[in-house]
């Protein structure tokens, strides 16, 4: 036995192979929907100007619990809210029900192409001049040939996979847009249906919500009346002014000389 010899095999192939890949993407969308029912109650015919002014001052107080909004003051209750509308001098009672809807869409596309390029691979085999251990020149040539052919197969598969992956990356935005469009269409339909249902349910709850809203309003209205009456008494020189508030009842006493 002597030092091993090497035989090298280089193979080339013109790769001309078509490929096809099915690609899909899924998109899930969610949307918050609300259904509302509302009723408006004018106050200008039942409250005088001093009482309305006192009411607005009471609503604007930091501790009133009412929040200033664009068109007036708002108070949240279970199941809705009430807004005192300054310009219209009216109460707007709103029953609100909320829910979430979801929809999914799937985009699908069949991609195809052709890989046409030359590929090459190289492999070596070892042998001994005396054929020790069966390592003959012929066996070495055969092993190198087989290894090179396997490398060509692997390289061809890799080239095809790379081409299909690149095509998938380029088409990903289009496929996702297709899935999103499908999901948005379905979501809009479901949101419209759900909103109609919630609005009907809100109408059925409007009376109960109205009771809670009016209770909250009457509390600030009582304070406004109290402040308006006390302001009137002080402005007109009343003496012995006394007032008390207990169990949602306000009592005011004063002497006014005519």
The pLDDT of residue 1 is above 80? no
Do 228 and 135 touch, CB atoms closer than 8 A? no
Q: How confident is the model over 180-202, as pLDDT tens digits?
A: 999 999 999 999 999 999 999 99
Rounded to 10°, the helix 137-235/49-60 angle is: 140
Residue 140 has pLDDT above 90, yes or no: no
- Collapsing DSSP states into helix, strand and coil, what is residue 144? helix
Interval 75-117: pLDDT, tens? 999 999 999 999 998 999 999 999 999 999 999 999 999 999 9
Hey, CA dihedral for 58, 61, 63, 66, is it positive or negative?
Answer: positive
Instruction: Express as a percent the part of the chain with pLDDT over 90.
Output: 59
Q: Find the mean pLDDT for residues 143-160.
A: 91
Q: Are 122 and 10 in contact (CB under 8 A)?
A: yes
Q: What is the mean pLDDT of the chain?
A: 87
| Residue 45 pLDDT > 90 | no
The order of strands in the sheet holding 80-85 is 5-42, 90-127, 80-85, 72-77, 67-69
pLDDT of 129 higher than 70: yes
Dist CA 90 CA 213 (whole Å) = 13
* Spatial distance between the Cα atoms of 163 and 160, rounded to a whole number of angstroms: 5
């Amino acid at each position: 036995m002597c030092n091993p010899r090497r035989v090298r095999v280089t193979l080339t192939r013109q790769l001309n192979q078509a490929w096809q890949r099915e690609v899909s993407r899924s998109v899930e969308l969610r949307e918050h929907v609300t259904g509302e029912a509302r009723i408006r109650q004018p106050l200008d015919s039942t409250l005088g100007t001093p009482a309305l002014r006192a009411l607005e001052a009471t609503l604007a107080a930091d501790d009133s619990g009412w929040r200033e909004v664009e068109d007036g003051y708002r108070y949240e209750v279970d199941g809705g809210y009430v807004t005192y509308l300054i310009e219209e001098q009216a109460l707007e009672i709103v029953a609100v029900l909320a829910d979430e809807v979801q929809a999914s869409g799937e985009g699908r596309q069949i991609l195809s192409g052709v890989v046409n390029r030359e590929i090459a691979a190289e492999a070596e085999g070892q042998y001994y001049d005396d054929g020790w251990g069966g390592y003959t020149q012929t066996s070495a040539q055969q092993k190198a040939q087989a290894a090179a052919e396997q490398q060509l197969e692997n390289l061809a598969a890799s080239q095809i996979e790379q081409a299909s992956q690149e095509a998938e990356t380029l088409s990903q935005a289009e496929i996702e847009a297709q899935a999103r469009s499908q999901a948005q269409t379905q979501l809009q339909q479901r949101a419209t249906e759900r909103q109609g249902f919630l609005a009907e349910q809100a109408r059925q709850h409007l009376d109960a919500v109205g009771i809670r809203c009016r209770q909250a309003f009457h509390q600030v209205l009582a304070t406004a009346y109290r402040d308006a009456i006390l302001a009137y008494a002080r402005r007109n020189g009343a003496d012995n002014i006394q007032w008390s508030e207990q169990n949602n009842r306000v009592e005011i006493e004063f002497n006014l000389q005519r």
